[in-house]
Structure 1
């Protein structure tokens, strides 16, 4: 199992994906707490819908969504 994880992290795109995933999760956690405490949680819901729409549009236009 550990050998398989080491093989995965040999690829640079996996390393970048993990780093970006950690940074996005930290930013989302900090932003989410602030929005909920200020009772702006609907802004977060709107942002998720915008992100989903952008992904769907990119897929429909045959563009790379990432």
Structure 2
């Protein structure tokens, strides 16, 4: 069996959230759980942001 690493990054390529799944799991089913893991700390007081302004998705098929 294999595994997949799903990664959400900001516009600068910095990681925001990571999700590890089984290799046979479809990428589309992992999008929501991955986005729900995003937490961006605010400058100063307040809860971390969890809703991105934009989303760009890239899916790759196996080798």
TM-score, normalization by structure 2: 0.25
The structure carrying a bigger helix percent of its residues is 1
- State the structure with more CA Rg: 1
The structure carrying a bigger strand percent of its residues is 2
TM-score, normalization by structure 1: 0.25
**RCO higher in 1 or 2 (8 Å CA, sep ≥ 6)?**
2
